[in-house]
Amino acid sequence: MAHRFPIKEIARQAGLGTATVDRVINNRPNASPQARKRVELALRELKAQEAQLAATGRRVFLDVLAEAPKRFSREIRFAAETALRSFPGTAIRVRFQFQEIMSEAETLAALERIAHRGSQGLCLKARDTPAIRAMVERLSRAGIPVYTLVTDLPGSVRQGYFGLDNAQAGRIAAYLMAQSLPERGATVLTSRSQDSFRGETDRLTAFRDLLTSLKPGVHFMDATGGAGMTVATARSLDAILARGEAVTAVYSMGGGNAAILRKLSECRQRPLVYVAHDLDRENRLLLAKSAISYVLHHDLSQDMRKLFMMVLESPRKLSQHVPTQSSEIFIATPYNLPPMPVQDMPG
């Protein structure tokens, strides 16, 4: 595979290990088709960034680090690439690192590498833990501004938050659900990917508060820890559904909706209303079939565009004022589903 970039640089862009990249570049065995595709994509990105730099002469490095299922990290990447088109006069070089499940130690190690090599900004989707907050503070002291995406680290020294207002999203979900619930005897299943994602916790708290006010007799069952992934999400539901309690409605905050629906179907259950988040490919297909009722969505590309603008305009001395950039929430139904983006087309 012809290229002119160091293997370490390709590995950083692809989010793979150098050994894996070396096997792909030199066409050696034991490299998966997925790894080969990621290396090919990384090379295209590096070539495009190099061409942009040659045309403009200005280079800005931005790191994107996210713990997210592949379907959502794919949306983040596409949103960033879409947003980059709004900055033709600047070479913004985005280095992505995505991992479906990232332990605290793995997150800290990744942040350590960013601190070591330097960056003009870090877009972070991570768990809210004291150690990660401390690392964010260290990055800030080193002159690397940190911006949170979708799930926040409130009260930390991060420079800004980009994404939806999670508490508002929870209240919208409660209002939509309340229209379909009976006055008594409703059981609502809530599902989160991780306890330590602050955004999902904020959604759940606001959702429960409002739905309890609107439907005082509602009963909640919470499944957490599936990371939005098919097998883990299904496993997290097993103990709950084994109780045999009828599920009236579902509010899914962390994804894995095909797995949730399959588990419910195995138990011969079909909820009256199902509210989910994000118009990724899986949710689009489920919504089009009316398998889910509503999807709460926000425009990630606008989030990334605002973030890029803030990175470009950020003064050398980081501000003590922490802005909030909440996105507009769009309610998608089977009857107002936007056209499928190119990256989600089959084939």
Could you count the other beta carbons within 10 Å of the beta carbon of residue 2?
5
Q: Kindly write down the DSSP assignment for every residue of 25-65, as one continuous string.
A: HTT-SS--HHHHHHHHHHHHHHHHHHHHHHHH--EEEEEEE
Phi–psi pair at 295, nearest 5 degrees = -125, 125
| Cα-to-chain-centroid distance, residue 107 | 15
Tell me whether domains 7-164+299-328 and 166-277 share a fold. yes
Phi–psi pair at 227, nearest 5 degrees = 60, 20
- Return the DSSP state at 180: T
| Cα angle for residues 219, 232, 327 (degrees, 5° grid) | 70
Q: Are 62 and 94 in contact (CB under 8 A)?
A: yes
The closest of 216, 234, 217 to 225, measured between CA atoms, is 234
- Which CB contacts under 8 angstroms, 24+ apart, belong to 78-85? 78/300, 78/301, 78/341, 78/343, 79/299, 79/300, 79/301, 79/303, 79/304, 80/301, 80/304, 82/301, 82/304, 83/301, 83/302, 83/304, 83/305, 83/307, 83/308, 84/308
Q: Residue 212: in which H helix or E strand, if any? A: helix 198-214
Q: Residue 147 and residue 157: Cα distance in Å, rounded?
A: 9
Q: Which two tokens stand for residue 22?
A: 């070396």
- Return the DSSP state at 81: H
Q: Residue 185 and residue 78: Cα distance in Å, rounded?
A: 43
For residue 181, the number of C-alpha atoms closer than 13 Å in the C-beta half-sphere is 29
User: What are the residue boundaries of the structural domains of the chain, listed by start?
Assistant: 7-164+299-328, 166-277
Q: What is the pTM of this model?
A: 0.78
| Cα-to-chain-centroid distance, residue 77 | 10
Predicted confidence pLDDT, tens digits, the chain (347 residues): 556 688 887 887 777 888 888 888 888 888 888 888 888 888 877 776 666 555 555 578 899 999 998 889 999 999 999 998 887 767 788 889 999 889 999 999 999 999 988 898 999 999 999 999 999 999 999 999 999 999 999 889 999 999 999 999 999 999 999 999 998 889 999 998 877 888 999 999 999 999 999 999 999 998 887 665 666 777 778 878 878 888 999 999 988 899 899 989 998 999 999 999 999 999 999 999 999 999 999 999 999 998 888 888 765 445 545 556 688 999 999 999 988 765 554 44
Dihedral (CA of 101, 24, 118, 59) sign: negative
- Return the DSSP state at 159: S
Per residue, the 3-state secondary structure of 285-310, as one string, reads HHHHCCCCCEEEECCHHHHHHHHHHH
Of 3.40.50.2300, 3.40.50.300, 3.40.50.970, 3.30.1440.10, the CATH number of 166-277 is 3.40.50.2300
The closest of 278, 296, 273, 290 to 172, measured between CA atoms, is 296
Q: Residue 224: in which H helix or E strand, if any? A: strand 219-224
| Cα-to-chain-centroid distance, residue 109 | 20
Q: What is the model's pLDDT at position 2? A: 57
Of 4.10.910.10, 3.40.50.300, 3.40.50.2300, 3.10.129.10, the CATH number of 7-164+299-328 is 3.40.50.2300
